[in-house]
Amino acid sequence: MKKIIAVSSLVFILTLYNYPIFNDKKITFAAIFLCFFVIIFSTAKLYFPSDKEDYDSVEKEMDRLYNDNGIFQYTDEGFYVKQKNITEFIKWDEINTVNRFAFPVKPYGGQSGLEVITDQKNYEFNDKTTSGILKLTDQLYNNLPNCKIDSPTIRVNNFGLEKTKLYERKPPQ
């Protein structure tokens, strides 16, 4: 990249020094414009490299995240959660509510995650610290009826906690 900038700068300077080239102003202007264009974009590419993430690398990372079980193990009846050397089984039938929560304010560092509420216990899984949460979200959508992605978000408290109810078990009728 630096060689391209050096060559373009040299051609630019020589073009300005030998103005006009071939006794034609159009060729001179084209050469000056081309050199200027190459210098500007090469410098921008050199000092501000584009995202190192292209489509393929993003797809590979998303595939890896969606296939990562993390602390979860799934069965047809529910899933196991292993936290602090304790493994608990949560049945799909026992889940009352699933909420998506987010702390967008600064003190909490933009934390977000899932809250799973059962008859016996409440579970909170943070996006940053819980490995396998993307696959858990996918499994919840697949195994819980009436799970809604586009539910409205509600602000819960003054600290900026926002909750989105993704699923709520319907009472028997």
Residue-level pLDDT, tens digit, the chain, 173 residues: 678 778 878 777 777 777 766 677 777 778 778 888 888 888 887 777 665 666 777 788 888 888 888 888 988 898 898 888 888 898 888 888 888 887 766 655 667 888 888 888 888 888 888 888 888 888 888 888 777 666 665 555 555 677 778 888 776 65
Specify whether the backbone of 102 is left (phi greater than 0), alpha (psi in -120 to 50) or beta: beta
Alpha-carbon Rg of the chain, whole angstroms? 28
Q: Output the pLDDT for position 36.
A: 82
Q: What angle do CA 9, 13, 15 make, to 5 degrees?
A: 115
| Residue 88 φ then ψ, to 5° | -120, 150
DSSP 58-85: HHHHHHHHHH--TTEEE-SSEEEEEETT
| Residue 114 φ then ψ, to 5° | -120, 145
Overall pTM surpassing 0.75 (yes/no)? no
Packed helices 2-17 and 25-47: angle between N→C axes, nearest 10 degrees? 150
Q: Where are the alpha helices (DSSP H) in 18-150?
A: 25-47, 55-67, 133-143
